[in-house]
Structure 1
Amino acid sequence: MVALARQTLIHEWRRFLPAIIAVGFAGLLQLLQAGLVLGIFGSASVYITSSVADLWVGYPGTQSVNLGRPIDADVEMRLRMDSDVLKVEPFQWVDADWRGARDTGGVSVFVSGINAGPNGLMYERILSKALRARLNEPGAVIVDRADLVSLGVNPGDTATINGHRVRVVGVTSGLRALGGVNVVTSLATARQLDTAPVGNRTTYLVAKVRDPDQAATVATRLEGATAFGSYAVWTAKQFAHRSQMYWIFDTGAGAGVLFMAGIVFLVGAVITSQTLVAAVIGSIREYATLNALGVGVNALRKVVMEQAFWVGAIGLLGSSVLAGGLFAIAAHFNVPVELSPLAVGTCLLLSMILALASGLAAIRTLRHADPASLLR
């Protein structure tokens, strides 16, 4: 019966092609949607994931990295006093207004003031040592290549941030984030651009610990001290997850995306089930003939389920190849997409379940595979 299922697919491929396309298209939509969700909402934590800091210290209750509030800079001394902390750096966050060389109007930007040294923790994964060195120039900024048009500048152009003159000394990729345009400067430049005087305060402190596997233990120990003011300590993984969950569940944007994912799955289920049912109905006389020759209904059900499995497998193979090509195109045009092996596996598993469920729906049509129907 298994061989019969495969042979039927080979010789009657035109009949099953719509079902294969339906499964493949549903799988493709799920892969693309998962990639966009992970890419877009994952960019909310680009400040953390593109850096090599193990610990982040900020204002208690901060829900996302872009919602940081100043903490007392003296907290840095508390961190340095811990024997497991190897390095500490301030990270200055400034909400600012950008005016480019071309008339694009005011653009809201997020200024990241970082340690511009060659071994700085912030943006270590996306800024080369040569780019970091350029930030030591007064008023120097680095932006994402994909944001040049919206900022109205080219590399080497000058602009103004909060009324202060700056110059674009370099561009990179990987700075784009959810909710705004990122501009990287040195700590000194960021403090000059900050129009809100905060005294001896900074937005975040980032730290590198001796053993990254013990980062959570060190964070708990550091948070227990209150003599240096009010602050909270998170591991990089915790803070990245916290930021992403805020954008997904607390802003309302995630609810809309999850709703659309459900719609995609529902539409895919309906289309796939109907096309597979139509393919089985098209072969109903052949099934009736097999039944007349002594093949039981249970055996015929196994044939249908085997066909559903192969329809799903072929469709998902095609969708995976096509999705790979589309993701490559998206990356070329700086579209934020990201897929983890777990996400890919989940999407493919859901699509296969969809195909098998459609096979179960098609089994119901076998009640028409009555040998008596051959006499009509």
Structure 2
Amino acid sequence: MSLALSTLIYEWRRYLAAVIALAVAGLLVLAMTGMFMGMALSFTATVDHSPAQILILPPQADGIFGDSGQPRRLIPTIYEHPDVTEVQPMIINWAGWTNFPKDGQPAKNDGVRVVVVNPVKGAVTLPNDFSDEIIEALKEPFAVVLDRSSLGKLGVKVGDKAKMNGRTVTVAGVVDGYPNMFNTQVFTSIQTAKLIYVYDDGPRVGPLLVKLRDPTRAKQVAAELTVMGKGQFKAWTREQLSESSQKGMMKEGGISIMIGFMAVVGVFIGIVITWQTLQGAILANIKEFASLRALGVSVGTLNLIIMELSFWVGVAGLALTAVLVAGVATLAKWGGVPMSFPLFIDIPVAIMLMVIAILSGLFSLGVLKKSQPADLLR
């Protein structure tokens, strides 16, 4: 075990503030980005859980949020590919929601995002995590299904009735994994969608869901379909679209500014506190460093020990960050707040924390000038 690591282990109390500072800086950035990524993930949940291996969007769209609709006449063109077995539009519309309050319960009036599915096992529009019970429930006229986290927001429970666009519907069941902080999602069958006036069979459609004969060829088929479209559409694999949608949300002006501000604040807090803590810890051990110099250890070697010590402080900060982020994610899950921590966010934040630790070590090297062997005689 190196001297730097043993020093950190046996005198951990002196370095705890630096580790906590790094962890708080990481938590500040990750909690903010995790919340926004969770929002994006809640919007793409129907895509992530779709049996479709490919989705068709307009050529200019860079994610599910940029879909402005496309002509329905494209469907026959997609069927021309020999690997395509099913093509259906994803029908998403909006409706007004009103509950029937009882026993002093407050009235809830809200706008909901209606996702229309075909309640048949294996249908390309039906999320693949819906149970047989939920599928059977959706087959009933005027039956709707909500995410479990949305019950309180909409003021209902399973079996209750409510109004959508003025028509009475029944909450026939609940699913998990489709929370939404802003626009609550309601699942209905095609039959019910027509009854409550949200079914759209016009000339323009949203994303097209494509099911393949061989799912392992999704990337290749997506590329071939894009070429076949001749600029009329772009084909995405499910995974590509989900990741691009999350990255696209990060490009939104307000979101990127807020996250950038939090990153700057986190870096400032991390560097200042970590630097000051390391300086204080090194000063507390100044006689030990003076002893090493008296034994012939060069200043350069002592500098390397300090840098290694700052590296291990960074590693400990990363570990504590992971624990804190896991705790925040658990609390968010209990509260029905969606959060997501993709690698393209986690890796830069981890690098940022290590850079903060290394810079703090560099700023602390000047303290070693006080570790003169003559100090041992005082």
TM-score by length of 1: 0.86
Q: Deviations over 1:293-320 (max 9, x none)?
A: 3221012112212222332333333333
**Kept after mapping to 2: 8 A contact 1:24/1:312:** no
> Is 2:163 aligned against 1:160?
yes
CA apart distance, 1:243: 3.0
Cα distance 1:250–1:38, how it changes in 2: closer, same or farther (>3 A)? closer
Cα distance 1:7–1:240, how it changes in 2: closer, same or farther (>3 A)? closer
Q: 2:290 aligns to what? A: 288
Cα distance 1:66–1:14, how it changes in 2: closer, same or farther (>3 A)? closer
Q: 2:47 aligns to what? A: 48
Distance 1:191 1:202 in 2: 16
Number of residue pairs matched?
Answer: 374
Q: 2:148 aligns with which of 142, 145, 148?
A: 145
Distance 1:283 1:353 in 2: 24
**Kept after mapping to 1: 8 A contact 2:75/2:87:** yes
Distance 2:7 2:71 in 1: 73
Distance 1:88 1:177 in 2: 27
Cα distance 1:310–1:250, how it changes in 2: closer, same or farther (>3 A)? closer
Q: 1:351 aligns to what? A: 353
> Is 2:133 aligned against 1:130?
yes
Distance 1:68 1:188 in 2: 25
> Is 2:105 aligned against 1:92?
no
CA apart distance, 1:155: 0.9
Q: 5 Å matches for 1:213-362?
A: 213-222=216-225, 233-250=235-252, 252-340=254-342, 343-362=345-364
Q: 1:78 aligns to what? A: 77
Task: For 1:320, give the aligned amino acid.
Answer: A
Distance 2:250 2:93 in 1: 23
Task: For 2:39, give the aligned amino acid.
Answer: I
Deviates more, 1:178-187 or 1:337-346: 337-346
Q: Deviations over 1:262-316 (max 9, x none)?
A: 3223321221111111111222233223323322101211221222233233333
Q: 2:184 aligns to what? A: 181
Q: Secondary structure at the match of 1:120?
A: coil
**Kept after mapping to 2: 8 A contact 1:99/1:160:** yes
Deviates more, 1:351-360 or 1:168-177: 351-360
Task: For 1:106, give the aligned amino acid.
Answer: N
Q: State the identity as a percent.
A: 33
Distance 1:308 1:214 in 2: 47
Gaps of at least 5 residues in structure 2 are none
Gaps of at least 5 residues in structure 1 are none
Q: 2:209 aligns to what? A: 206
Q: 1:23 aligns to what? A: 22
Deviates more, 1:278-287 or 1:121-130: 121-130
Q: 5 Å matches for 1:358-373?
A: 358-373=360-375
Q: Secondary structure at the match of 1:240?
A: helix
Distance 2:127 2:198 in 1: 27
Q: Deviations over 1:231-264 (max 9, x none)?
A: 5543323433443344221352233123313322
Distance 1:248 1:39 in 2: 11
Task: For 2:245, give the aligned amino acid.
Answer: S
**Kept after mapping to 2: 8 A contact 1:126/1:174:** no
Q: 1:121 aligns with which of 121, 124, 134?
A: 124
Task: For 1:290, give the aligned amino acid.
Answer: L
TM-score by length of 2: 0.85
CA apart distance, 1:44: 2.9
**Kept after mapping to 2: 8 A contact 1:116/1:186:** yes
CA apart distance, 1:65: 3.3
Distance 2:122 2:280 in 1: 63
